Amino acid sequence: MGQRKTTPENRERILRIAAQLIREKGIEHTTLAHIAEAANISKGTLYYYYATKGDLIFDIADRHMNNMTSRVFRWLESSGSGQSPRMVFRLVLDTVMHSRSRGHTHVYLLQEALTQNPSLKARFVEEYHRWRGIIEEGLTRIYGDQREYTVMAQVLLTTLDGLVLQRLVGSDSVPIDDIASFFEQAGALYQGLPRDESDSLS
């Protein structure tokens, strides 16, 4: 019997369906059998792609992390396009806030990482560190100097996580424009500090 071939298209379809089921049922209540049924494939075919649910979850996490990272990179690129700091902050806030399905995925993966998946937790730690570095580089581009923006990058990243949670529980009154303005003013205040004082905040 010839060896079956996996295809990127089928793998992507399985991951998309699995992520949707996880958002609807939760990780604990989503089995490989459920995913195979929803994808209209046999369990054997699914097992050919993913022998365990853990392997599949890690690939969903990888896909999710790559999507989130690409957003942060887009923000980084826009920060050098001559837009005002407020517009750049608004862009990144609006992009993250209005991706409801990915927000659900982010929360479920975090829950899994915190409760029973040390390898997934380690991956989140790695990616948060990476996102923070990208944001810090973006802030340096916005303000055009070589100060360290570690603290401001951490606050912005934490704010994004918090806003995603607020949106998911139904808070539609998040004032994105006001928050963007706040970060713009914080950056201006930071710029007004002597170099040694602003660097001591990092």
Helices (H), 4-84: 8-25, 32-38, 43-49, 53-78
Kindly state whether residue 200 falls inside one of the protein's structural domains: no
Task: Note if the pTM is more than 0.85.
Answer: no
- What pLDDT score was predicted for residue 82? 67
Domain count, the chain: 2
Same domain, 141 and 111: yes
Inter-axis angle of helices 85-97 and 176-192, nearest 10: 140
- What pLDDT score was predicted for residue 17? 94
Kindly state whether residue 78 falls inside one of the protein's structural domains: yes
For the chain, the farthest-separated pair of C-alpha atoms sits apart, in whole angstroms, at 72
pLDDT tens profile 62-80: 777 677 667 766 766 765 5
pLDDT tens profile 128-165: 888 888 888 888 877 777 677 888 889 988 988 888 88
Domain extent for 40: 1-51
Kindly state whether residue 157 falls inside one of the protein's structural domains: yes
**CATH, residue 35:** 1.10.10.60
Residue type, 202: S
Same domain, 144 and 181: yes
